[in-house]
Structure 1
Amino acid sequence: MIDHTDLEKTFLLKVRPDQLFSITCLVRQKIMNPGYDPKIQVEVDPTEDTEWNDILREHGIIPEKPRKTEELEEEAREEKKEQQHANRLENKTLNELDELEDDEEEEFLEKYKQKRMAEIRRLASKAHFGEVYGISKPEYKKEVTEASKHCFVVVHMSLHSSLQSRILANLLNLLAHKYPQIKFVDIPASRAVENYPETSCPTLLIYKGGDVIKQYVTLLRLAGNQTKISNIEDILVEVKAIKDTDRRLVKNNEPHDEHSNIGEHQLSNEVGEDEDDFLINRFII
């Protein structure tokens, strides 16, 4: 608590006699009413580092002391250094971060590890799904429109007789396990929309906030019959359902990582050996 008398004495020692009454009133007003905006002009150099100026700054009578260029430059250097550290560590696993302890500043590394662990916990708390849910038309509003107010929802309007629809179904099954924080649903197109054209299947819809934010009719705008997990991941990154730096993304895996093409390898086994047209098109195109 500030002693009013001492504060006033400090002011009195610093001012000229002709300023005495005005300054005393100003100080009392500021102490009794912190929101008071004084209009009295006090003759001081706000750049001086004095006890007098400290008191004036404390009570908002003069502005804060301008920061020195050297201080600003030092702060900018520190921020740049931290950003360089962060960029180097961005896609490292916790085990890889442990291996870097000898090369990085311990304090910064520990802070970054805590940040990564918090991010992992955040993702885990959102991991409610993990599979593709089959839904009916009466369930659409609740399972898609309403659900998208809390998370991203990816809808596959499917047609079993469509090769591309079967390709997409396999990809979405893999993605649902890979990104359990995103909800994936499947509904036969004919049940979702009466007389929906078979030539428009598969249709891929992405919902957020109760609205469709992205739509693909067939896979032609992607890679057609050669569509891979990475193509769908690019869409999810574009709509911000996944961060571009997410280590789970195929593109963020090491080139020779045995898991880097997960989905591409599995898909070739899951589509089936009876898809002769698929294989012919794949090698001819």
Structure 2
Amino acid sequence: MQDQNEDTEWNDALRRHNIIPQKEKEVTEEDIIDMVENTIQTKHEGKQMGDMSLDELNEREDDIDEDDERMFEEYRRQRMAEMRAQQMKARFGDVMEISKVDYVAQVNNAGEGVWVVLHIYKDGIPLCKLVNNHLNNLARKFPATKFLKSVSTVCIPNYPDKNLPTIFVYFEGDLKKQWVGPFALGGMNLKQDELEWLLAQAGAVQSDIEKPERPEVDDVLTKAVRQSRIDNEDSDDD
């Protein structure tokens, strides 16, 4: 005898004429969620579960039958996880300017699980401006990380300009990584993806970017010193 559940043209024709029963639909997770929502909706007029706050979900829990309680609890856990993810994602998103008096609150007491990227800079230094531009973009890309900036003379009195720009990376108030001075960041050749990779290596951002390849830069100073030595050796031979 032919299986009535098989997907064949003959069975489809029989189903259309109600000769054999319709094939049972496989119940998915979305179907279960819809069933829970429909159960509540038949008892109450108003919002769907997807539009409810956690308080509203808790109030409606008493209206759920015992058989549906497990499904309701699973749905509520999903909603809580989604809300936490949304709150974390929208937590920051820009570069905040701070002063010395803000340091403890914004850095040391940033909070549990919070990464902080602090840029010490000074107006009029081209590389500092470049780094600020990169950090503005990265702050929008990684809103779960707190990005800060502070003018050197405001944040650290007598901080030497030769150390600018400086980037500090903190996690839960502890210093994890620092880049001090233009050579540590690669100078004016610094690209945004390079800075992103550096921050990712330090753990400050969650990025799967691969290490960017930087073309070799001619070391003019080293070449000049080497050539000077050769010229001096030739002079001594004469």
TM-score relative to the length of structure 1: 0.43
Identity of aligned pairs, percent? Answer: 29
Amino acid at match of 2:114: C
Q: Aligned ranges for residues 231-246 of structure 1 at < 5 Å?
A: 231-245=194-208
- SS of the residue 2:147 aligns to: strand
Of 112, 126, 137 in structure 1, the residue corresponding to residue 88 of structure 2 is 126
The CA deviation at 1:242 is 3.0
Counterpart AA for 1:124: Q
The Cα of 1:123 is off from its aligned counterpart by 4.7
Q: Which of structures 1 and 2 has the larger relative contact order (alpha carbons within 8 angstroms, sep 6+)? A: 2
Equivalent positions of 1:209-220 (< 5 A) are: 209-220=172-183
Q: What CA deviation, in whole Å up to 9, does each residue of 1:161-208 have, x standing for no partner?
A: 111100100000000111110000111011111111011111100111
Contact map agreement 1:164 1:218 (CA 8 A) in 2: no
Superposition deviation, residue 238 in structure 1: 1.2
Tell which deviates more after alignment, 142-151 or 200-209.
Answer: 142-151
Cα deviation, residue 283, structure 1 = 11
Q: Which residue of the partner structure matches residue 54 of structure 2?
A: none
- Determine the structure 1 residue equivalent to 2:149: 186
Give the superposition deviation at 1:159.
0.5
2:99 aligned with 1:143: no
Task: Output one character per residue of 1:93-150: Cα deviation in whole Å (capped at 9) or x when no partner.
Answer: xxxxxxxxxxxxxx9xxxxxxxxxx998765331201110011111110011110544
Cα deviation 1:213-265 (Å, max 9, x = unaligned): 110112312321011111121122212233353xxx4x49xxxxxxxxxxxxx
Alignment of 1:16-165 (within 5 A): 123-127=85-89, 128-147=91-110, 149-165=112-128
CA RMSD, Structure 1 to Structure 2 (Å) = 3.0
Where does the alignment leave 5 or more consecutive residues of structure 1 unmatched? 1-106, 108-117, 253-281
Tell me the distance in 2 between the aligned counterparts of 1:145 and 1:133: 15
TM norm structure 2: 0.51
Work out which of the residue numbers 123, 130, 140 in structure 2 matches 1:167: 130
Aligned residues: 137
1:120 and 1:174 mapped to 2: Cα distance?
Answer: 25
Tell which deviates more after alignment, 183-192 or 141-150. 141-150
| Cα distance in 1, alignment partners of residues 85 and 186 from structure 2 | 30
Match of 1:205 in 2: 168
Measure, in 1, the Cα distance between the counterparts of 2:111 and 2:97.
16
Change (3 A) 1:141 1:165: same
Structure 2 residue aligned with 1:195, among 152, 158, 170? Answer: 158
Unaligned runs of 5+ in 2: 1-27, 29-79, 212-216, 221-238
